[in-house]
């Protein structure tokens, strides 16, 4: 047996040990996709599937389908959340959905600050921080997304940009409430492009973010805030990415649309 073979065996053992012990958050972000019929058939497949007790499974469908999630996942341990809402309880806000409505349909999570909301709909850190605050007030877990574009990536300062997205996004909640937030690092250049960040790029960034969280919010809170990775995650790359230090789970777009590949991702991480 040569040195390479031995290294591969050791690596395989490490992979298996990590997979067995670490529990992951697996969050599907469907974006603006699927028909009612497709949603029903997906829910039929996952409602009867045993995802096991180790990982936490969450799906964020388009809002009009939330009633189906409430109805079909009543006896399942799959949780669900919203992709968007307006940070007011009710009122004259034509076209918007409130956090109270999300609660009404049993949402336990909501995505905020996704790069598509920032770039297409002009949401800034200030507005995002209002969304985070109302979610905390209503006991819904915010999944705060941060991420740099390719131009920013070329600039040394992009890590600072990401840290600012966190601190400004969380500026309206107390230090204690910061522990209730999930953070998802999603480099914009890796979203929907098929180009995933490499495990070493993810690890470097997650270590940086973990240090920032500990320094900014104290070690008790900062060390436990879940840090997800998102951007072209799929069954073929999730195992390597899961090994990167400080990765607590994944925010998955494209590969969460198909029940089979979503289930496969959980199987790999189980």
Find the part of the chain contacting ligand PGA (CB under 6 A) among 32-40, 71-79, 202-210, 226-234.
Answer: 226-234
Find the part of the chain contacting ligand PGA (CB under 6 A) among 4-12, 74-82, 238-246, 247-255.
Answer: 247-255
In angstroms, the CA 205 to CA 187 distance is 10
Smallest gap, in angstroms, from Cβ of residue 7 to ligand PGA?
Answer: 30
Angle in degrees, 0-180, between the axes of helices 36-47 and 259-269, rounded to the nearest 10: 30
Burial of 152 (0-12, 13-18, 19+ CB in 10 A): middle
Alpha helices in 138-256 (DSSP H): 150-154, 158-169, 175-178, 199-217, 219-222, 238-242
Smallest gap, in angstroms, from Cβ of residue 56 to ligand PGA?
Answer: 17
In angstroms, the CA 230 to CA 232 distance is 7
- What is the number of the residue whose Cβ is closest to ligand PGA? 253
In angstroms, the CA 89 to CA 67 distance is 19
Per CB under 6 A, 253 contacts ligand PGA? yes
In angstroms, the CA 213 to CA 221 distance is 8
> x/- binding map, residues 20-59, to ligand PGA, per CB under 6 A?
---------x------------------------------
Per CB under 6 A, 187 contacts ligand PGA? no
From the list 114, 116, 203, 206, the catalytic residue is 114
Under 8 Å CB-to-CB from 111, ≥6 apart: which residues? Answer: 29, 60, 81, 82, 83, 84, 143, 145, 184, 251
- Active site (annotated) includes residue 186: yes
The whole-angstrom distance between residue 186's C-alpha and the CA centroid of its chain comes to 9
Q: For residues 221 and 251, which CB has a smaller minimum distance to ligand PGA in the complex?
A: 251
How many residues sit close enough to ligand PGA to count as binding (CB under 6 A)?
A: 12
Binding residue for ligand PGA, selected from 251, 262, 265, 269, defined by CB under 6 A: 251
Per CB under 6 A, 231 contacts ligand PGA? yes
Q: For residues 29 and 246, which CB has a smaller minimum distance to ligand PGA in the complex?
A: 29
Per CB under 6 A, 236 contacts ligand PGA? no
From the list 116, 123, 148, 186, the catalytic residue is 186
Distances (CA, A) of 270 to 23, 48, 147, 261: 8, 18, 27, 14
Q: For residues 72 and 234, which CB has a smaller minimum distance to ligand PGA in the complex?
A: 234
Burial of 59 (0-12, 13-18, 19+ CB in 10 A): buried
Under 8 Å CB-to-CB from 131, ≥6 apart: which residues? Answer: 85, 87, 110, 112, 113, 142
Binding residue for ligand PGA, selected from 81, 142, 187, 230, defined by CB under 6 A: 230
Per CB under 6 A, 84 contacts ligand PGA? no
Per CB under 6 A, 121 contacts ligand PGA? no
What values do phi and psi take at 253, rounded to 5? -90, -95
Binding residue for ligand PGA, selected from 186, 197, 210, 213, defined by CB under 6 A: 186
Applying CB under 6 A, the residues found at the interface with ligand PGA are 29, 186, 191-192, 230-233, 251-254
Active site residues: 114, 186
């Amino acid at each position: 047996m040569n040195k390479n073979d031995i290294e591969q065996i050791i690596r395989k053992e490490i992979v298996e040990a990590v997979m067995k012990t670490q529990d992951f958050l697996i969050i599907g972000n469907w974006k603006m996709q699927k028909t009612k019929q497709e949603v029903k058939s997906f829910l039929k497949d996952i409602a009867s599937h045993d995802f096991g007790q180790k990982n936490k499974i969450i799906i964020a469908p388009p809002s009009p389908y939330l009633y189906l999630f409430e109805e079909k996942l009543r006896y399942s341990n799959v949780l669900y959340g919203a992709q968007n809402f307006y940070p007011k309880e009710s009122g004259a806000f034509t076209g918007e959905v409130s956090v109270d409505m999300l609660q009404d349909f049993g949402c336990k999570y909501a995505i905020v600050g996704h790069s598509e909301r920032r770039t297409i709909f002009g949401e800034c850190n200030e507005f995002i921080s209002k969304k985070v605050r109302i979610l905390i007030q209503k006991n819904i877990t915010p999944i705060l997304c941060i991420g740099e574009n390719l131009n920013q990536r070329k600039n040394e300062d992009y890590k600072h940009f990401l840290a600012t997205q966190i601190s400004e996004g969380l500026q309206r909640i107390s230090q204690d409430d910061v522990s209730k937030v999930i953070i998802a690092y999603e480099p914009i250049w890796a979203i929907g492009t098929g180009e995933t960040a490499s495990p070493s790029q993810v690890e470097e960034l997650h270590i940086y973010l973990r240090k920032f969280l500990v320094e900014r919010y104290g070690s008790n809170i900062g060390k436990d805030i879940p840090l997800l990775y998102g951007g072209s995650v799929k069954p073929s790359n999730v195992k390597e990415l899961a090994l990167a230090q400080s990765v607590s789970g994944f925010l998955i777009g494209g590969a969460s649309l198909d029940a089979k590949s979503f289930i496969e991702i959980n199987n790999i991480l189980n």
